[in-house]
Amino acid sequence: MKFLHTSITVRHMDESLRFYTEILGLEFERRRTIPENHAEIAFVRDRETGARVELTHWEGKEAFEAGEQLDHLAFEVDDLDRFLLHVRTKGVPVAKEPYRLAGGSSRIAFILDPNEVWIELIERARPAA
């Protein structure tokens, strides 16, 4: 398993991108909308360590409760089905079964930690042999 990124929910994407790039000095990677989730995401990364933050703006989300800003942690797994089988035997709740985003090739699923923090599991598409 490989740690990929931390996702936080933001109120205003442009303002947040300016903060993370201009104030904190992180490097802008990419930005896109995800229509099926009614969201827009952007990635910024630390040039030195490679650590990445995903900024997530949810359409129509106006109010925030304390603690809602942490959206999820993301990990890459080699075999999503095998990993989900393993965590199920440990009693870990699966919040979202495997799926693909439109236009994407990776498979994604979400599990919950003991605090109900969402953990995204990403299985990258394997190149054709």
Query: Which residues does the annotation mark as catalytic?
Result: 120
Cα 52 from Cα 46, distance rounded (Å):
6
Cα dihedral 24→26→28→34 (10° resolution): -80
Q: How many residues does the chain have?
A: 129
For 117, residues 6+ apart whose C-beta sits below 8 A from its C-beta are 70, 72, 73
